[in-house]
């Protein structure tokens, strides 16, 4: 009851407060052809779904809503933000059932998908972009120029809290010594055979991959987004827990070591 207004008007008034504590979380999930790859425990697309599940279960509750944009070779599929775990589970089933991407030359770039998310969600919230972030780099990913998606990601981070979840596979970082190996670009279908027995070739590949990864890391940092790197050969749950602890420590403005729950200081 708003007693002040009631006294002035002699008519009973009830104040309704729209709580601004509810969090709206939106995830942009890259489901293009480059995510249909994996040589370890999972494929990158499976790890992307696991990341969405972790974000969903961490943020749902208390009236919080979760929505998604799914970037595929055929365009962007949008799932409206809803409250509760039942819509979250339905969204995860949809992501798992998404068809594998065929080779496409005119698919929507990651940069455009990020811009689309920014336009679709005007209200401030948590934006999570799950991708390998290989789209939008220069031809070999090693040039000094900014990736195409950096500027849209910066615009998104100017209004929202943004988390960039980068999904990788160990074979993208180094080549095994397995003799003649046929490599196929899943996005373009280009095929190349390489002699992995050459130590010099493997070293050049690893160095190029390191520079490409540094390019992605620097671009995410310049955009003002938090960066969470997940790999198909690592414990993704432990990586997410470490990231959450680190973000909480930064939010408190302290750099003291954190004692895990249940451990003695």
Residue with tokens 């070739």: 201
| Residue 244 pLDDT class (50, 70, 90 cuts) | confident
Tell me if residue 158 falls in helix, strand or coil: helix
More confident residue, 104 or 22: 22
In percent, the amount of the chain with pLDDT more than 90 equals 44
Predicted model pTM = 0.80
Residues paired with 79 in a beta bridge: 68
Question: What is the mean predicted confidence (pLDDT) over 25-49?
Answer: 90
**Does residue 44 contact residue 132 with C-beta atoms inside 8 Å?**
yes
Res 19 pLDDT > 50: no
In percent, the amount of the chain with pLDDT more than 70 equals 82
The vertex-26 CA angle with 21 and 31, nearest 5°, equals 165
Q: Give CATH for domain 23-251.
A: 3.40.50.410
Q: Which two tokens stand for residue 105?
A: 């030359």
Residue 131's alpha-carbon distances to 33, 166, 201, 203, 264, in angstroms, are 11, 5, 27, 26, 38
**How confident is the model at residue 15, as a pLDDT?**
58
Q: Residue 156's CB: how many other CB atoms inside 10 A?
A: 25
The vertex-25 CA angle with 22 and 30, nearest 5°, equals 175
Of 55, 61, 67, 50, nearest in space to 84 by CA: 61
Of 79, 71, 73, 171, nearest in space to 130 by CA: 71
pLDDT tens-digit map of 40-66: 888 999 999 999 999 999 888 777 899
- Each domain of the chain, given as residue ranges in start order, spans 23-251
**How confident is the model at residue 247, as a pLDDT?**
82
Average confidence score pLDDT of the chain = 83
pLDDT tens-digit map of 167-224: 999 988 988 888 887 777 766 667 888 888 888 988 999 999 999 999 999 999 999 9
Specify which of 17-21, 81-85, 194-198 reaches the highest per-range mean pLDDT: 81-85
């Amino acid at each position: 009851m708003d007693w002040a207004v009631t006294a002035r008007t002699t008519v009973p008034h009830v104040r309704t407060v729209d709580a601004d504590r509810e969090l709206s979380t939106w995830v942009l999930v890259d489901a293009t052809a480059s995510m249909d790859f994996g040589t370890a425990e999972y494929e990158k697309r499976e790890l992307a779904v696991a990341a969405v599940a972790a974000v969903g279960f961490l943020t749902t509750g208390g009236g919080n809503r979760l929505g998604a944009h799914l970037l595929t070779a055929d365009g962007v599929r949008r799932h409206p933000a809803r409250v509760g775990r039942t819509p979250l589970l339905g969204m995860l089933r949809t992501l798992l059932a998404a068809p594998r991407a065929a080779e496409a030359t005119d698919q929507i770039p990651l940069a455009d998908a990020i811009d689309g998310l920014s336009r679709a969600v005007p209200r401030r919230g948590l934006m999570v972009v799950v991708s390998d972030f290989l789209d939008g780099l220069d031809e070999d990913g090693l040039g000094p120029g900014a990736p195409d998606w950096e500027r849209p990601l910066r615009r998104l981070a100017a209004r929202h809290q943004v988390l960039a979840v980068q999904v990788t596979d160990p074979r993208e970082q180094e080549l095994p010594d397995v003799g003649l190996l046929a490599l196929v670009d899943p996005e373009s279908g280009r095929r190349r055979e390489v002699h992995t027995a050459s130590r010099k070739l493997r070293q050049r590949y690893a160095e190029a991959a390191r520079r490409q990864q540094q390019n992605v890391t620097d671009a995410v940092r310049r955009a003002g987004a938090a960066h969470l790197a997940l790999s198909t050969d690592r414990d993704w749950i432990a990586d997410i827990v470490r990231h959450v602890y680190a973000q909480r420590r930064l939010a408190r403005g302290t750099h003291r070591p954190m004692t895990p729950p249940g451990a003695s200081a």
